[in-house]
Amino acid sequence: MQRIFLDNAATTPIDPDVLFAMTEVMRETYGNPSSIHAEGRKARSLIEAARKTVANTLNCSIGEIFFTSGGTEANNMALKNAVRDLGVKRIISSPLEHHCVLHSLEAIAATGAACVEMVGIDEKGHVDLTDLRRRLGEKDVPTLVSLMHSNNEIGNLLPLQEVADLCAEYQVLFHCDTVQTMGYFPIDLERTPVGFLSGSAHKFYGPKGVGFVYINNDNQIKPYLDGGAQERNMRGGTENVYGIVGLAKALEKAVAEREERRARMEDVKQYLMDRLRATYPDVRFNGDPERSHYKVLSVSFPESPKGDLLLMNLDLSGISASGGSACSSGIDVGSHVVGHLHPDSKRHTIRFSFSHHNTREQMDYVVDKLAGML
């Protein structure tokens, strides 16, 4: 059997149609998009067409979309510029956020420019909205709420509309990391009031090294990267034209095929859960699989002598999975999310994350191979 890739929360394989669109740009459209001659204008037109694709997907203005190097830059831009340029003095977030948000918050707190508070988390890993409301009501200072749409470790989904409405009620800014959900769930920014939102192409079968940030027109911030006038003076540096084209193509295709892809992933995820429950009665699913992203399943197995080698043995058997986030210099350091929810647990955790390319037959192979590893 060919290798089975079950680490799609870390990255996804590039779609062949996306690769074709990108290589065509690399061959034919080599002009600098800041140049005024024909080659430059052609490159510029591709960027603006891509911007329109993203804006149409989110139902927002094209002037509110700015291309970045990925989700990390987008999240950094939103958080740090909100403090620097919009007078934010308090940020309410959660201890289960992606490290690019948590480390940004640590950097902000270290400067003393804003204080950081962590909202309560329930036993299943969901944000305690009662605690969030309490925190919003107890202080009258410029505040930003930063909460991710879907947790990248356990998949739990934030009730996006409810949180957005709550932030609007208290007239505070709302930043949402939608890196894991972009292209997988519909988001309508005309209906859902969000101040800042981030996306990254390689999470929805596009290229690595390109993403975007949505910045609501009401939030007038200064450039994050100083340089030229690119991205309407918001981000200096020559644009990654073929990457941006790839992002737009990948997003367009993800939206067009969303329901078909979702059905496949939901089926594979449920099938793996059923097989694991039947084969390993002591298995535990972290978070809340009933209110989670259909592409993520965090599984904890009972402590065993072989457990520390579980990831390596899966890899040797041709199965790619992870124990946690893959954003720590290529080192799998385990899940800070599962560690927060189960601090005293000695169980061995594996995050399986799916694509529409995965099959039930592959899940049978995974379950069978696990038998000799536990």
Q: Which residues are catalytic?
A: 327
CB 335 within 8 A of CB 10: no
How far does Cα 211 stand from its chain's mean position? 11
The Cα–Cα gap between 183 and 337 comes to 24
The Cα–Cα gap between 20 and 14 comes to 10
The radius of gyration computed from the CA coordinates of the chain, to the nearest angstrom, equals 21
Tokens, residue 103: 């480390």
CB 173 within 8 A of CB 147: no
Q: Assign 3-state DSSP to the chain and report helix, strand, coil percentages, each to 5.
A: 45, 15, 40
Residue 88: Cβ-neighbour burial (10 angstroms; 0-12, 13-18, 19+): buried
The Cα–Cα gap between 264 and 285 comes to 20
CB 199 within 8 A of CB 148: no
Tokens, residue 159: 């009730």
Which DSSP state fits 158? P
DSSP 297-349: EEEEE---TTGGGHHHHHHHTTEE-BSS-S-STT-----HHHHHHSTT---EE
Scanning the structure block, which residue is given the tokens 């902000």? 108
Torsion of CA 206, 210, 215, 220, to 10 degrees: -170
Q: Which amino acid is at 138?
A: E
